[in-house]
A = this chain, B = another copy of it.
């Protein structure tokens, strides 16, 4: 059983070049030194490194999770080997400018690169990825001085980064955080408080750990408007910028998770001895705004990771289904016939097709989102740029929530394909399933994403993002005139009209006493909207595949394109119609959930 397939050889080139036309980015000055060849070389390096250094210890790190002896965190040595290879290859700085030591690669290519690592070993990959996310915030909002102190060493991975948002009592409710940052005469701050679920919050992989901490500067406004963002290193820097004195940040303990066990999840105490130094990012009280402005990338990362774990589970189940024989398939269903590989059984095909539709759909969705960032970054027209930015904002909750809802569903079906074997820890399906269960929870639970979509993103800037989305979809669907894609486009067209009608209704509900009812039905809004977007993403893949099919030479290429068309058909026939339920609930202002009372449970 060749269970080590990370990604089908044609998948990422198809997505990047055939669907998203990523090569066209090279016309822009920023990416002028790049070409398909340089992109491919980076992808190839990522593939080899992921297969050689990340994949082999994925399961081992799950069984031997990091430990804390009260002084030091220990983990499997393979994690550091992989992390070092990753940083030495320059991947942490991949998206940054040449002059910063980066590779100046497009976001979409970097997302594709991340695919190999996420498929191979999401836990080890978390360390450099969290660092990238922290760099992203610092690079945009910190002062030049702060940037100079921390960014170069984070870009090389000498320092790693974390995002320290959540507190034990507050969970998703950041308005209620209690960590304080008190300004000192020298302009630094003293931090005091507790944070929880801080991934990568302690380890020995790097020389320093740079925590981005949300805290309240006393005297600020109540709620989310009074939150500031602080850089809080594990070690303070000496005059040469090297780590020296230990800052007053302590590991209170490691959390023991269901999955993603290779990544330390920590409870951290800041300022237990009143000596935790922090440095303000940007201005006081704007911290949450900075954080959220950088959430787009982080949330695409979560969504794409969830799709990739789902995809890995799919490939694993696929290999199993081709190999494992059981029973017979009509019309050859006589007991004396040899047993058939289970991939020939109709219900197994259904389960694999669903996994393909969910995971490749999530990948394509998030690559589209990354490509939007590239389009924003290379857009010369200010108005168009704003429109694309609004589109990205609108799609961000979908990019996070849809793949993290459906990636785990793919992993669930992956277990089912393996049957009894899937329920044992001797096979990997169950680990994929456990690992992926994190994704609907972190970086804003999917419930919060649904509220964000329903009450904010759909209407932001007078619905500009929505208008741009409709334009993108219409211009694409309108161009499809033949083939199975055109039939699918027609089906989707009907739902787009229904969505349009529904949004008028929902806009009214938000302004009325139906707001509370709607808040209990936000998940239905997310289902309907996200399914329509992903349907489009699938039809887009199918239409490209149908075009390429005409001149495809090899049998394997033909098979790949036919598979894309079939998965799109699956999505349109099996998934899209489910939103009738959601449209109906929303249209009727269904109040069953909202009216439920706590003591009725």
Contact = CB atoms under 8 A, between A and B. Distances in A.
Contacts of A445: 416, 419
B256 A424 contact: yes
A461 interface: no
A573 interface: yes
A592 B166 CA distance: 45
Contacts of A350: 520-521, 523, 593
A523 B322 CA distance: 21
Contacts of A569: 592
A560 B600 CA distance: 5
A353 B176 contact: no
Contact of A593 (B258, B353, B560): B353
A425 B258 contact: yes
Interface string A347-365: 1111111001000000000
B420 A600 contact: no
A166 B520 contact: no
A505 B516 CA distance: 43
Interface in A496-555: 515-517, 519-523, 555
Interface stretch (A98-106, A116-124, A575-583): A575-583
Contacts of A324: 171
A327 B438 CA distance: 22
B522 A347 contact: yes
A313 interface: no
A434 B222 CA distance: 41
A385 interface: no
A167 to B, nearest CB: 11
A60 interface: no
B346 A521 contact: yes
B441 A353 contact: no
Interface stretch (A37-45, A139-147, A200-208, A336-344): A336-344
Interface string A574-601: 1001101100110000101111111111
A559 B599 contact: yes
A563 interface: yes
B598 A585 contact: no
Given A441-B420, A451-B347, A566-B600, A339 B197 contact: no
B515 A349 contact: no
Nearest to A447: B347
A299 to B, nearest CB: 17
A426 B256 contact: yes
Most B CB contacts (10 A, CB to CB) among A325, A346, A352, A412 go to A346
Contacts of A434: 434
Nearest to A513: B331
Nearest to A560: B600
B573 A592 contact: yes
Nearest to A225: B335
- Within the oligomer, what is the number of copies of this chain? 2
A594 B352 CA distance: 12
A592 B593 CA distance: 35
Give chain A's interface residue range (CB within 8 Å of chain B): 35 or more
A287 to B, nearest CB: 15
A50 B195 CA distance: 38
A180 B378 CA distance: 71
A262 B523 CA distance: 36
A441 B560 CA distance: 31
Contacts of A173: 326-327, 339
A465 interface: no
Contacts of A356: 601
A450 interface: yes
A521 B570 CA distance: 12
Contacts of A318: 601
B223 A335 contact: yes
Contacts of A598: 322, 341, 343-344
Contacts of A423: 257-259, 437-438, 441
Contacts of A265: 424
Contact of A562 (B523, B577, B600): B600
Contact of A601 (B352, B433, B517, B599): B352
A513 to B, nearest CB: 10
A215 interface: no
Contact of A257 (B424, B523, B574, B581): B424
A149 interface: no
A255 interface: yes
A89 interface: no
Interface string A426-448: 10001001100110111001110
A406 to B, nearest CB: 13
Given A172-B326, A256-B426, A574-B581, A349 B416 contact: no
A141 to B, nearest CB: 23
A170 interface: yes
A577 to B, nearest CB: 4
Contact of A570 (B224, B349, B574, B593): B593
17 contacts: A171-B324, A172-B327, A173-B339, A257-B425, A258-B424, A322-B598, A347-B447, A349-B520, A349-B594, A416-B447, A430-B437, A555-B599, A559-B597, A563-B601, A574-B585, A577-B580, A578-B581
Leading 3 A-B pairs by shortest Cβ distance: A346-B520, A223-B335, A563-B600
Given A347-B519, A570-B596, 7 more contacts: A171-B419, A173-B327, A255-B426, A341-B598, A346-B516, A353-B593, A416-B440
